[in-house]
Amino acid sequence: MENEPPSDSTIELDKNQIRTLILYNFLKKLSQKQCLEDLQETIGCQAPSFATICRWYLHFKRQGKNVKVVKSGGRPVTATTDKNVSIVREMIERDPRVTVSEIIYKLKIGSYAVQKILHEKLRVKKKFSRWIPHSLTQEQKQLRASLGSS
């Protein structure tokens, strides 16, 4: 009984710890299938899938023995620049009925970037064919309050 591994419910392993176990089996020259069997026996339901083990074995063969995942920054942000935000703001102020397609055509950027500028940067949404702020300004709130009380 003393040699039994702790039950699954007593130890919670994070991904780096599991990757370290995969690396350990890789260094012991176990096959991927043997690694899976060993992990299932050792950590039970926390064991990764066979595909995950295969992916990490390939990673260790190609890129070395680093178990940390380095996330790339992805594509650089070039479309949601301050310049583009101010151009979109001017377009909306000049013509509140401007369409997303017109903005895309004018700025030569993708629809996702335009949506991001409109909704996250400028905080506007399309209502009644016009771009309006998500929230009311203090003046708009006071005007509504005065209209409601008369």
pLDDT tens digits along 79-101: 888 999 999 999 999 998 999 99
Q: Write down the H helix ranges in 45-94.
A: 50-63, 82-94
Q: Which residues pair with 131 in a beta bridge?
A: 126
Question: 14-59, pLDDT tens digit by residue?
Answer: 888 999 999 999 999 999 999 999 999 989 888 999 999 999 999 9
Tell me if 79 sits within 8 A of 113, measured CB to CB.
Answer: yes
The residue assigned the tokens 């040699």 is 3
> How is residue 86 written in tokens?
């101010």
- Residue 76, pLDDT score: 62
- Residue 1, pLDDT score: 47
Query: pTM of the prediction?
Result: 0.43
* Diameter over CA atoms, the chain: 83
For the chain, give me the number of helices (H) and strands (E)? Answer: 7, 2
Report DSSP state, residue 45: G
- Residue 4, pLDDT score: 55
Nearest to 14 by CA among 54, 53, 46: 46
First-to-last C-alpha distance (Å) of the chain:
82
Report the distance separating Cα 54 and Cα 29, nearest Å: 13
Report the distance separating Cα 135 and Cα 126, nearest Å: 13
